[in-house]
Amino acid sequence: MARRVYEAWKGSNKFIFGGRLIFGPDAWSLPFTLLLIITPVTFFSAFVATHLRHEFLPNSAGDAILVVAILFTVLVLILLFLTSARDPGIVPRNSHPPEEELCYDTTVSSDGRQTPIVQIPRTKEVMVYGVPVRVKYCDTCMLYRPPRCSHCSICNNCVERFDHHCPWVGQCIGVRNYRYFFMFVSCATLLCIYVFSMSALYIKVLMDNHQGTVWRAMRLSPWSVMLMIYCFISLWFVGGLTGFHLYLISTNQTTYENFRYRSDNRINVYNRGVSSNFLETFCSRVKPSRNDFRAFVKEEPPRSIALATTWEQGEEGGEQENREEQRRQKVEDDQDIDEDVMKLQHRGNAEEGSDHRVDIDQSRVGSNERAPTIRSEARYGNWGARSNAQEDVIAGGSSARESSRSYAAAEEGR
């Protein structure tokens, strides 16, 4: 049965609603984040906003205080959802290394044997706004990361324009959800300021109505004091984060780039001016996702042709070298045997003294008394042929010597 992409996903993400929503592996932190947002707003609406509504009952200001708080909260929750439940800009990983980037080489072992290997350059340069930028190869995703892309070790994905992985939203922050993340943080900051201000206003109203001091008013509304303390502490986090990202946007940096390359003093090729940087972040079109998580997985045959060919060539080359070595050894053996045969011939002739050369006048010998001729083959196809030839040569030498002796005896009788 065919599986969908989200079912065969190799990253650490979590999917719900059939792959329609994607979260990080730490999505369990989302309920805690929702609790930190909804709980103070609930107490504010119940113990502060309703009392202020009665104080400003003659006009609509009292209703507006409660409505603004609810609208701010809904906006923050929507931005949180858009940040954490969408693809942050994941680059689809490859099923095999890019063949056009493969480099073939050989290594020589201790015994002199050459082994073919395949290497992939760790970096390469691409041009960005006319400036060369070095990009790295990702072994996990088997691709060269696009500029400003980095591999998230938590989600186990390469993310375009990777900013950081936020545990509070349970998702990576990348090119497709960065603006929503910034708006979520900035709206949470405004919500904290609003709740803090309205709580302080209620304390001021209590002081005016009861003609008392601030301590007396704080005892009359302890929830206002608790909300002011909570919002003050939260402002140090979300407020500071908002200010830091305002700086990053104005200089067109990411959190990862700011912390990673702060000490390098390298030129930021992406900085195009404050106004252009803000327009790029908030007014540019959001890039469509490069992943269709609900699509069916297309089974691809294993593409190891380049690697297999390399090794097969190496094996064939080794076999060919072995065959050449055997052929050279065979020729050398043949030459050695020929030399041995010639030595045997000379040794047999040497035993007869001056008769070592058989120069017989064939005209003086009858056709039936012709001396045999000594012949030797230069090369033979097999060992049997070589041994038979050797025996024929030796036998031929002995017959020649006997014929010579018979011829000499006949001459003496005449």
Q: What is the pLDDT of residues 138-166, one digit of tens each?
A: 999 999 999 999 999 999 999 999 999 99
- Among the listed residues 35, 41, 313, the one whose alpha carbon sits nearest the alpha carbon of residue 168: 35
Last residue of a domain, one of 283, 318, 344: 283
Q: What is the pLDDT of residue 307?
A: 43
> Is residue 313, in this structure, part of any structural domain at all?
no
Q: How many CB atoms lie within 10 A of CB 32?
A: 11
Eight-state DSSP code of residue 296? B
Do 169 and 268 lie in one domain? The reply is: yes
The strands making up 123-128's β-sheet, listed across from edge to edge, are 123-128, 131-138, 143-144
Tell me: pLDDT of 179 over 70. Answer: yes
pLDDT in tens, 375-410: 333 333 344 444 444 444 444 444 444 444 444 444
Tell me: pLDDT of 215 over 80. Answer: yes
> Is residue 5, in this structure, part of any structural domain at all?
no
- Between CA 118 and CA 124, with CA 119 as vertex, the angle to 5 degrees is 145
Active-site amino acid positions: 166
Confidence of residue 359 (pLDDT cuts 50, 70, 90): very low
Do 28 and 85 lie in one domain? The reply is: yes
Last residue of a domain, one of 254, 283, 312: 283
Query: How far is residue 82's CA from residue 277's CA, in Å, rounded to a whole number?
Result: 22
pTM: 0.70
Tell me: pLDDT of 362 over 60. Answer: no
pLDDT in tens, 104-133: 777 777 777 777 777 788 888 888 888 888
Do 274 and 190 lie in one domain? The reply is: yes
> Is residue 119, in this structure, part of any structural domain at all?
yes
The residues near 306 (Cβ < 8 Å, ≥ 6 apart) are 99, 102, 118
Confidence of residue 16 (pLDDT cuts 50, 70, 90): very high
Quick one: average pLDDT of 195-211?
88
> Is residue 413, in this structure, part of any structural domain at all?
no
Last residue of a domain, one of 257, 283, 309: 283
Q: What is the pLDDT of residue 108?
A: 72
Do 250 and 171 lie in one domain? The reply is: yes
Tell me: pLDDT of 412 over 50. Answer: no
> Is residue 405, in this structure, part of any structural domain at all?
no
Do 277 and 261 lie in one domain? The reply is: yes
Query: How far is residue 385's CA from residue 337's CA, in Å, rounded to a whole number?
Result: 11
User: What domain range is 135 assigned to?
Assistant: 92-105+115-145
- Among the listed residues 224, 286, 257, 14, the one whose alpha carbon sits nearest the alpha carbon of residue 148: 257
Q: In total, how many domains does the chain have?
A: 2
Do 75 and 169 lie in one domain? The reply is: yes
Do 64 and 205 lie in one domain? The reply is: yes
Confidence of residue 50 (pLDDT cuts 50, 70, 90): confident
Do 59 and 123 lie in one domain? The reply is: no
User: What average pLDDT is seen over the chain?
Assistant: 77
Higher local confidence (pLDDT), 34 or 131: 34
Do 223 and 84 lie in one domain? The reply is: yes
> Is residue 227, in this structure, part of any structural domain at all?
yes
Quick one: average pLDDT of 353-376?
39
Contact between 355 and 401 under an 8 Å Cβ cutoff? The reply is: yes
> Is residue 387, in this structure, part of any structural domain at all?
no
Contact between 178 and 161 under an 8 Å Cβ cutoff? The reply is: yes
Do 249 and 123 lie in one domain? The reply is: no
Query: How far is residue 173's CA from residue 169's CA, in Å, rounded to a whole number?
Result: 9
Do 98 and 63 lie in one domain? The reply is: no
> Is residue 58, in this structure, part of any structural domain at all?
yes
Quick one: average pLDDT of 314-337?
50
DSSP H helical segments within 261-382, as ranges? 274-282, 305-350
Q: What is the pLDDT of residue 157?
A: 95
Q: What is the pLDDT of residue 302?
A: 61
Contact between 22 and 13 under an 8 Å Cβ cutoff? The reply is: yes
Do 81 and 15 lie in one domain? The reply is: yes
